[in-house]
Structure 1
Amino acid sequence: MFLGAYSSAMGGTALCVFSPLPAALVEPLVEAAFRAEGLVRHADRTRDWYDAAGRPYAYYLEATDFEFGPEETAPLESAAGVEMACQVQVHIGVSDPAGRPALGRMAHRLAVEADGWVYIDLHDPPPAGIRELFERAGRCVAAADDDTVFFVDAAAMAAWLAHPEFYVIK
């Protein structure tokens, strides 16, 4: 179910944040995260957001099972101690690596404010010791058997943002 903004230039990179809060409570937090990052809505297309360089951003608010089955979210919910109510997909609509740190910061802010967990797909090989970094900083749940995909809490996401090899894959 589509509840959020849509960018006409979709096709870039995204991060997902899972929250136990209902979508109606999360959406204002998403918009506040976009504004905190300096993004502005397009004057005529209020669902499109842009940064100062003109890069398009958007978000979707969806049910947790939109792209993930219960077998994938059960370990997350067990670690969090609560059932997740929605997922937010935060997108940049172009493949511009310069806009990806903003995605990370917005995902982190949502994790903080919406008691969320960020889904991170690092592909392989991820930076050496990344799981240990996540676990030292906060909480981390492997979302795949190969230590390349994780759900991380806000503290672990902050550590990833500060890591010299931080990246978000397309």
Structure 2
Amino acid sequence: MEYTDFLLKFVEQGGPLVGIFLPILEAFIPILPLVGFVIINVGVFGFFWGYIYSWIGSCIGSFLLFLIIKKVEGKRLESKIKESKYKGTLDKIRRKNFSVLFILYCFPFTPSFLISGTSALSNMNTKKFLTALIPAKLIMMISLSFIGVNVKSFLKNPMKSIIFVVIIILFNLLCKKIVDRYEKKHRK
């Protein structure tokens, strides 16, 4: 409990910049708990601002990671992958890049580090990456922020948790259909 109190006070005293920095940090160190940072932000700043700060930080962190891997390591790693057994996987990501990326980023517990890194290695267009990242993270952060506001009620009422998870899955499926239609329309 002392660690939690310390972290809450640290974020409270540091203000929005610390609230934004924590999700950025999580993008580079995937072992850190994004859901924990979102819960802290919502607890300190309230639902709306905690959600906004978490979303901004998560988008910035994922984008910075994408750029770093793409610019620094991308060329070297991509040539190694092309020579390995993973070439087929890289090609699949290239072909389905937007919809796959969007859907993966929507799910709250998909590792952003892996998605951003794979997108960079697949040599994805930066504009396409941002087009998928920003709205998908918006959806994911609303899910995590809702959990952050209702942590105690989720533990007390597991049925509420189950209903919420089902709603998130249905919402993600709806988003997938919308993205698929968008891609079909723009392929022509």
TM-score, normalisation: structure 1? 0.26
Higher relative contact order (CA 8 A, sep 6+): 1
The structure that is helix-richer by fraction is 2
Q: What's the TM-score, normalizing by structure 2?
A: 0.25
Bigger share in strand: 1
Q: Higher Cα Rg: structure 1 or 2?
A: 2
